[in-house]
Structure 1
Amino acid sequence: MVISTTKRTTVLLVFLCWIIFGGNAVNAQPAKDSVAATTVPGPVKLSADSLLIRMEELHNTLNRINDITSRGFDTREMGEELPEIKSNLQTIEDNLRLYNKVLNIRNLQMFRVLLADMREHLEDWRSRLFDYNKELVRMNAEMMAFTKDSFVKQIKADTTFRKFYLPELKELKGKWDEAKKATTQHLDKIAVLQAGISGSYFKAIELENKVNEQLRVFSIKSLSKEYNYLWDDKIRTDSTAATLTQQSSKSFEGLGRILDYYTRNHSSTWLWVFLIGLVFFFRVNKQFKRINNAGKKELLQPPYIKYLRALPVLTTLVIMFNIASFFDLNAPAAYLDSLQSFLLFLLTILFWRKWERRMFVYWIAIVVLYMLTMGTAAVVVPDVRVRIWMLVLNVLSVVTGGFIYFRIYKNLSAGRLVRIVSMIFIVLNVLAALFNLFGRLSIAQVYSTAAIAGLLQIIGLTVLIQIIEEAFYLQMQASRIAGGITARFDFEKVRAGLHKILVALVVLLWLMVFTTNLNLYNDLYTGISNLITKPRNIGNTSFTLGNIGLFFVILLISNLFQKYIGYFFGETDDELIGEVKEKSTRLLLLRLLVLIAGFLIAIAASGLPMDKITVVLGALGVGIGLGLQNIVNNLVSGVILIFERPLKIGDFVEVAGQKGRVKDIGIRSSRMVTTDGAEVTVPNGDLLSSKLINWTLSNNHIRTELLFTIAPSTALPLAKTIILEEVSGSDAIIGKVAPELLVKSMNDNNVVLKLLVWIQNVHHEEAFKSRMIQQIYQRLKENEITMS
């Protein structure tokens, strides 16, 4: 049975090779290929094992190749998008020919971004097609390797094997033909795609160079005279103007298609924007419900809440369209303009609900002015009528800027920032009017559009600041109701810090978009990048300004963190006197660790060598020895406070003649709040060297005393009974320690009594005394006993 199987296998392989090569090489020379050739002096006796191995390899190879080719290669996206990219490249090329006569800086900026984006896509496709082609060539090589087997020349002569296994040979022949056909088709398809993609790739590079050249020309000639003075210009009726008008109208359709392409290819960024909006929506809605359920609707009224609602759909959209620019910092100006238009629509609805009518009319005027300015900027024909209309818009813009500077800014959170931008808005429009008068039309258009876009963007961003601060306020109030960890935070103090951070981010984003509109962003970015990354040397020490700046930024962040970490261990600033929970005594250690970690990270980020830093630390040690003894003493004393634990945050202590509650244990000094509400700063060294009385070291218990003068003295037994009854009935005393009532002095007219009683909380001492005196006085008076 084994012999029969071997013979069948041998015949199968022989006949397959005979079918493939037509049986025309019976007398061929032995193959010399190194892949499978075996040359011997005489006839070679075929091994059954060798034939089985080769047959199995052939089956596996053909099956694998057919599986791969049946699944195909991922070229559908390339085939669908390549015609669109070609069309966009042609549109850009047509517009660049137009801008050789009339510069349109905003479209040039858009083209630069889009060309870079398309070039990256094409480059990625070229790389993938190269890998696909390499895989197909390898599969072809594997198939052809079997044709060079040294056994072929002897097997093909055996007609018995071919006749016996003809059906199986036909099946393998079919697989072979299928694999050969599929690989050939894929190779042809990939070759066509490679040709088209490579052509578009090089065309994109060429257009990029042209765009950069035109932008360079604009930067050089933007202040030079392009056209006649306005008073010397005339209405153009020549064929050139008509041709430019026709070409510009035709290009608008292409520009719309290009912008649609960019939006679709960057739609993934909107997933993050949508996720942030979704989290914000449900978070704010949950906080509104929590506050309403607690019966504190007054917290949701102005001035605390102005824009947010229980279902904050509108404010969520405002946030989404404001932050969308963060996720695409290199977006073209036209894309940003579309976001701005949607944002203006949302802000108009929001202001219509919240602003007074007069302010809302001013806002509508600003929106109309924006639409007119942007529409005028799209007209590329330098006709005198367009120039006069631009001049009118500049005058209207100056008047509008004055209204914003003196009135509208009051309705916005960061009003000071809006006033600064409104002044920039006025200055740019004045300059645009002057440039227009003197024939510098390109720079006039740039200044006009950049001014109005920057003004409306800063208004939208200030609304974003206010919405975030309102959401933070809701979080604080809801946390106070739920008893969360943020319930300890002081809202006003934390909001002040949050406001500064938000303003800084807003200014950064606004500057990026504003300088992009002025065609300055790339130059500024390159200049600043070179400034902070260029290596500098002082002696043998090499450093960069960026590393030095990062050093101080990390120190600043660590200092702020150690400052506000006290909220997680101490009290809020609005807590004066009352019951205090025990706080962690490791607060000071955490602050020291934060500062030390920040310092070490800052040193690592600075890139300075450690041997240089040890020199600085040595100099610092000399300074400590000469004049910083007290500071070091206080620092070391602070560390000792951690381990000895003579006091902790919230303890009621007495030191240096002052009584109060420990509010904060700092690195150098600690703070305590006296019973009068004053904050006293005590150096840590004094806490260890001076006499420190801690009333709450192990517990909050305290023994207090009250003095009573009773008349007549004959009523002493009844008075003692009344006093002890009232004191024993109080919940504030420690029940297991009986109150003591002692006679301090006595005569024929009255008797002085001293009451000694232990109460549970030292912070309630004064309130307990007040309540006891009133109750005891009322009981004694009812029994005709006088208390003085």
Structure 2
Amino acid sequence: MRIATLLTILFALLTGSGSYGQSVSKDSTVQSFVEKFRELGRKEAIKSMETVKANRASRQQRALLNDVRQTALAAKLYLQKGIDTPAISRALDRIHQNMLTAREGVLQNPAPVQTLRDLNVTSIVLQELLQRISHERRQLDGYTNQLMKYREHIDSVTSTPALLEFPADSANMMKYLTRLVITAKDVDPVDSMLKQSIVSVQDLQTRIDLLSYEVNANLEQVENMRKSLSAATFRQELPIVQTRSFADIALLSWKKDILAFSHYLGYYYWRLLLLVLLTMASWRFIWALKSRLLDRQAHDVLQNLVVQQPLLSAIIIVVSLGQFLFPNAPFLLNLVFWGVPAVALIFVFGRHVAPFWLRFWIVSVALFFLASLDNLLLQPSTTERWYMLSLAAVGWIWGMLHLLSARKSELREKRILYFIAFMISMETLSIAFNLAGRYNLAKISMTCGYFGIVIAILFLWTATLINQGLKIASGIYKQPDKHLFFINFDRVGGSAPLLLYIILIAGWFVLIARNFYVYNRVTEPLMAFITAPRTLGEYTFSIRGMLIFVAILLSAMFLSRLVSFFSAEDHSAAPAAGKKLSLGSWLLLIRIGIISGGLFLAVAAAGIPLDRITIVLGALSVGIGLGLQGLVSNLVSGLILAFEKPVNVGDQIEVNGTLGTMKSIGFRSSTIALVNGSVSVIPNSDILNHSLVNWTLGKRQVRGNFVVAWLMAVTSARYTPC
């Protein structure tokens, strides 16, 4: 419309027609035309700029209003999903009640004589309560932060000045006001809900902070009491002035023990599930060994204890070794770890040891459970003092009868005699400390004597059962079997490695030493030194994180080599007709997966920032581009061999005229067993880049050309008749 007006004016001025050029001269007409044309252009430019600005403001306003409505909708959905604040409130009530239970007898209504067991259990419970509080705090903090983000975003958008710029046109202004009213109706209820939820959650956060402070204060007091009691270890504590009856002491002790047990399992239940799965897998393996032996001859079954009771043998092996997955476990859980295998061992070797020593083990296990019942008591009493004295005397007499017995030759494990002597010495110390009025030392000595001999015999028989199982497996499974994850038992060997015995010996010392407070005084400063944060430039690290990183990485590399070693198949002989090697070149992918997973797990566990990893990878890329082309080429070629499978492990191949059998495909190179008995190591890239003939990949029938040369020897000899 404006362009048409301009054209009309221009036409009138140029032709001299109309009202624009009738009473003026030609020069004045031209001058008037220019001035009016410029004025009109300025007005039209201003109008165009205002129109563009209005359109831009309208688009921005629509975008802002849509953003507000979308954010309000997301906040509404998040609030509906939300968290159960009443459940968190009830959880905090339970934590507070459990804290009061843990305080009883120590910080509240304290006993006349404090015991290390009571202080240890109280410390464990308080630490577990702190972890639960931290869990609830993280949940609330995450929820609050998200709510604050929604509210801050809504406030920042609604306070944008562009929303307050109203259109000049009345019709457009009415439409815009209508959109504002509709948006306000959608956003205001959500904004009110956000404010209310934030206030409610902040109240819970305040309550959590107060509860955390109280639990931390109680824990600090308990630790100070433990240090004081440790410093006064040899101080006389008896006679005991009881303020509670023995029944009340037993009930309170049971509540605390159950509390520590339940809270501990709440955080380590997945490890317990792993232990059950490992037990089932071991049971399946031992059952397979027993079935193979029954298929061969029954005489071997009768000679091997490990296959007599497959389930019980699996329980003994897995539980005895798996208990090290549970750090600082409460005593009630340790009682399960020790008591269940001890009872199972009675049925495993019941008919294979001399009756004299079988009775010794049965009675020792019974005394162990009696000592465990005493160890569950957390506060001293006169009744318990006489109980400890009697139990220590019985253990001393029982140990001396068997240590001095003339039937030691019937004992299958001679090393048990050393632990019988250990039990006798500990019970002797218990009797002496009890009579001298040293309650804590008497109790620790008495329980450690029984615990030491039971754990030691369990570990000895665990190693024996493992040796028997490996010996049977190495004799039965001459070739890797897919049901046993392709483990080559011929390479594993028929006995447990030395590392297992070192772990068992060190584990026995740790399990016994941690009953003494001096163990905590040694380990706690060491752990504090390892876990203390250190700063190097802008990077914060700890020795613990570095050790975890190195340990996980080395474990991944060791596991990769272990898989390669145990899964290596014997290719010295050709496979039977119709039998295909199952694992083959997939072994390389498995090893790469183990190392890659170990690397990422090590980085995550050590808390190394990903930006640092990016810098390192960038530096490595420069090195790869400069001098590692051959290494990368061989690695990629190995992956191609693993995925495309132009050759498998065990195939008869020919590379550049060299005939042999593929033994293994590694990261950089592959090994080929030649027909002359030697082994050739060939880079993976050479296998793909050179002429490769796979005689196994095709049909069984092949066609070839053979050149046969006849050597005819002509001899001249005279035949002389007799």
Range into which the TM-score falls when normalised by the shorter chain = 0.5 to 0.7
Contact 2:260-2:330 within 8 A present in 1 as well: no
- Of 49, 74, 87, which residue of structure 1 is paired with 2:59? 49
Contact 1:458-1:510 within 8 A present in 2 as well: yes
C-alpha displacement at 1:258, in angstroms? 3.3
- Of 115, 121, 131, which residue of structure 2 is paired with 1:110? 121
Contact 1:106-1:333 within 8 A present in 2 as well: no
C-alpha displacement at 1:444, in angstroms? 0.5
340-349 or 512-521, which moves further after superposition? 340-349
1:239-388 equivalences under 5 Å are 240-242=242-244, 246=248, 249-293=251-295, 295-302=296-303, 305-309=304-308, 312-352=310-350, 354-379=352-377, 382-388=380-386
Task: Sort the Cα spacing of 1:473 and 1:82 in 2 relative to 1 into closer, same or farther, 3 A.
Answer: farther
One-letter amino acid matched to 1:287: L
Aligned to 1:86: 96
1:656-695 equivalences under 5 Å are none
Aligned to 2:459: 461
Two-structure CA RMSD over aligned residues (Å): 4.5
Q: Distance in 2 between matches of 1:265 and 1:45?
A: 61
Task: Sort the Cα spacing of 1:482 and 1:406 in 2 relative to 1 into closer, same or farther, 3 A.
Answer: farther
Contact 2:430-2:441 within 8 A present in 1 as well: yes
Contact 1:307-1:354 within 8 A present in 2 as well: no
One-letter amino acid matched to 1:139: Y
Q: Distance in 1 between matches of 2:212 and 2:489?
A: 58
C-alpha displacement at 1:515, in angstroms? 0.7
One-letter amino acid matched to 2:282: F
Q: Distance in 1 between matches of 2:311 and 2:340?
A: 14
C-alpha displacement at 1:93, in angstroms? 1.1
1:196-235 equivalences under 5 Å are 196-228=207-239
Contact 1:401-1:423 within 8 A present in 2 as well: yes
Contact 2:423-2:453 within 8 A present in 1 as well: yes
Task: Sort the Cα spacing of 1:569 and 1:186 in 2 relative to 1 into closer, same or farther, 3 A.
Answer: closer
One-letter amino acid matched to 2:132: H
Aligned to 1:195: 206
Aligned to 2:37: none
C-alpha displacement at 1:287, in angstroms? 2.7
Q: Distance in 2 between matches of 1:533 and 1:113?
A: 19
Q: Secondary structure at the match of 2:243?
A: helix
- For the pair 1:134 / 2:145, whether they are aligned, the reply is yes
Q: Distance in 2 between matches of 1:49 and 1:480?
A: 77
Q: Distance in 2 between matches of 1:275 and 1:54?
A: 55
User: How many residues are paired up?
Assistant: 500
Task: Sort the Cα spacing of 1:341 and 1:157 in 2 relative to 1 into closer, same or farther, 3 A.
Answer: farther
After superposition, the C-alpha distances for 1:550-593 in whole angstroms (9 at most, x for unaligned) are 9xxx9xx99xx99xx9998999xxxxxxxxxxxxxxxxxxxxxx
Q: Secondary structure at the match of 2:327?
A: coil
C-alpha displacement at 1:195, in angstroms? 2.2
- For the pair 1:510 / 2:508, whether they are aligned, the reply is yes
Task: Sort the Cα spacing of 1:144 and 1:420 in 2 relative to 1 into closer, same or farther, 3 A.
Answer: same
C-alpha displacement at 1:321, in angstroms? 2.5
C-alpha displacement at 1:163, in angstroms? 6.9
C-alpha displacement at 1:472, in angstroms? 0.7
Contact 1:119-1:205 within 8 A present in 2 as well: yes
Task: Sort the Cα spacing of 1:321 and 1:429 in 2 relative to 1 into closer, same or farther, 3 A.
Answer: same
After superposition, the C-alpha distances for 1:709-764 in whole angstroms (9 at most, x for unaligned) are xxxxxxxxxxxxxxxxxxxxxxxxxxx999xxxxxxxxx9xxxxxxxxxxxxxxxx
After superposition, the C-alpha distances for 1:55-100 in whole angstroms (9 at most, x for unaligned) are 2222222222223222214868745643332222111111313555
Q: Secondary structure at the match of 1:301?
A: helix
Query: Which structure 2 residue ranges, 5 or more long, are not aligned?
Result: 1-49, 533-542, 572-674, 678-709, 713-721
Aligned to 1:101: 112
Q: Distance in 1 between matches of 2:160 and 2:489?
A: 82
Q: Secondary structure at the match of 1:480?
A: coil
1:481-560 equivalences under 5 Å are 486=488, 495=495, 498=496, 500-525=498-523
C-alpha displacement at 1:511, in angstroms? 1.1
- Of 61, 71, 86, which residue of structure 1 is paired with 2:81? 71
Q: Distance in 2 between matches of 1:312 and 1:475?
A: 14
One-letter amino acid matched to 1:422: I
After superposition, the C-alpha distances for 1:657-714 in whole angstroms (9 at most, x for unaligned) are xxxxxxxxxxxxxxxxxxxxxxxxxxxxxxxxxxxxxxxx969xxxxxxxxxxxxxxx
Contact 1:374-1:449 within 8 A present in 2 as well: yes
Q: Secondary structure at the match of 1:517?
A: coil
Task: Sort the Cα spacing of 1:267 and 1:488 in 2 relative to 1 into closer, same or farther, 3 A.
Answer: closer
Q: Distance in 2 between matches of 1:501 and 1:277?
A: 21
Aligned to 1:61: 71
Q: Distance in 2 between matches of 1:102 and 1:409?
A: 43
After superposition, the C-alpha distances for 1:130-175 in whole angstroms (9 at most, x for unaligned) are 3332322222122223443435556499986787689866653442
Q: Secondary structure at the match of 1:241?
A: coil
Q: Distance in 1 between matches of 2:159 and 2:171?
A: 22
One-letter amino acid matched to 1:177: D
Contact 2:111-2:243 within 8 A present in 1 as well: no
Aligned to 1:419: 417
Q: Distance in 1 between matches of 2:404 and 2:177?
A: 98
Q: Secondary structure at the match of 2:307?
A: coil
Task: Sort the Cα spacing of 1:429 and 1:129 in 2 relative to 1 into closer, same or farther, 3 A.
Answer: same
Task: Sort the Cα spacing of 1:380 and 1:135 in 2 relative to 1 into closer, same or farther, 3 A.
Answer: closer
After superposition, the C-alpha distances for 1:614-669 in whole angstroms (9 at most, x for unaligned) are xxxxxxxxxxxxxxxxxxxxxxxxxxxxxxxxxxxxxxxxxxxxxxxxxxxxxxxx
Contact 1:429-1:451 within 8 A present in 2 as well: yes
One-letter amino acid matched to 1:370: F
Contact 1:284-1:471 within 8 A present in 2 as well: yes
| TM-score for the superposition, normalised by structure 1 | 0.55
Task: Sort the Cα spacing of 1:405 and 1:324 in 2 relative to 1 into closer, same or farther, 3 A.
Answer: farther
Task: Sort the Cα spacing of 1:299 and 1:79 in 2 relative to 1 into closer, same or farther, 3 A.
Answer: farther
Q: Secondary structure at the match of 1:102?
A: coil
Contact 2:166-2:176 within 8 A present in 1 as well: no
| TM-score for the superposition, normalised by structure 2 | 0.60
Task: Sort the Cα spacing of 1:488 and 1:291 in 2 relative to 1 into closer, same or farther, 3 A.
Answer: same
1:539-618 equivalences under 5 Å are none
Q: Distance in 2 between matches of 1:415 and 1:259?
A: 36
After superposition, the C-alpha distances for 1:300-339 in whole angstroms (9 at most, x for unaligned) are 331xx11323x71122222333233211122123331233
1:376-455 equivalences under 5 Å are 376-379=374-377, 382-403=380-401, 405=403, 415-416=414-415, 418-455=416-453
1:161-200 equivalences under 5 Å are 172-200=183-211
Q: Secondary structure at the match of 1:223?
A: coil
Contact 2:65-2:183 within 8 A present in 1 as well: no
Contact 2:140-2:205 within 8 A present in 1 as well: yes
Q: Distance in 1 between matches of 2:186 and 2:409?
A: 80
Query: Which structure 1 residue ranges, 5 or more long, are not aligned?
Result: 1-40, 535-543, 572-696, 700-735, 739-747, 749-788
Q: Distance in 1 between matches of 2:409 and 2:463?
A: 14
Task: Sort the Cα spacing of 1:485 and 1:522 in 2 relative to 1 into closer, same or farther, 3 A.
Answer: closer
Identity of aligned residues (%): 16
